[in-house]
Structure 1
Amino acid sequence: MTPGELNHRERAILRAVADGRGELLAGCEPDLAIDGGWCDRIAVARLIAGGWICAVRPARAGDRVPARITDVARSRLDIAPALTA
């Protein structure tokens, strides 16, 4: 999937994850929450399968783990790394 193939919802999800606001619920079909609210499962599945979003560390099914955009996604979208405290 190229940046031009992303819809507005997927771009908003990527911006939120890049800002450090995303959390994945690990499983065979992971779910993504932004600020505690669950995202569109189809959009999330496309972003994960397309290599745009991943977990910050390995997780077992049922674990919640912070999400991050991949380095490839960051370079394709020209997004600066999130600032950490």
Structure 2
Amino acid sequence: MSEPADQLSHRARAMLRAVAEGRGHLASGSEPDLYIDGVPCCDQFTAHLLTHDGLVTGPHGRFGELVPATLTAAGSAALGTAVLAA
């Protein structure tokens, strides 16, 4: 487990905000890579921590397939925002 959600780095918070804005996608796999605006994030280690810590998730897809990333309730709480139901 990584740092507590209330101690996230500025970069991790920026990544969460981008996902919350609907700009993030995950490449399906055991270590899902995060893409923002179609470009791979420069800090995939943090992207992996965000998914493994349950702050970001996405639907299952074929290996390597880009799927929409969404914030979990924990990710939303880490940003201090409410998750809106789709």
Determine if the TM-score, normalized by the shorter chain, exceeds 0.5. Answer: yes
Structure 1 residues 7-49: Cα deviation after superposition (integer angstroms, max 9, x where no partner): 0110000000001000111112111110111111111011111
Q: Residues 6 and 17 from structure 1, CA distance in 2 versus in 1: closer, same or farther, beyond 3 angstroms?
A: same
CA drift of 1:71 comes to 1.4
Moved over 4 A (4+): none
Aligned positions, number: 83
Compute the RMSD of aligned alpha carbons.
1.9
User: Which amino acid in structure 1 is aligned with residue 80 of structure 2?
Assistant: D
% identity of equivalent residues: 41
Answering whether residue 57 of structure 2 is matched by residue 54 of structure 1, we say yes
Matched-pair contact (CA < 8 Å) for 2:71–2:83: no
Q: Unaligned regions of 5+ residues in structure 2, if any?
A: none
Matched-pair contact (CA < 8 Å) for 2:73–2:83: no
Select which of 43, 47, 56 maps to 2:46.
43
2:34 aligned counterpart, secondary structure: strand
CA drift of 1:53 comes to 0.5
CA drift of 1:5 comes to 2.3
Matched-pair contact (CA < 8 Å) for 2:6–2:78: no
| TM-score, structure 2 as length reference | 0.83
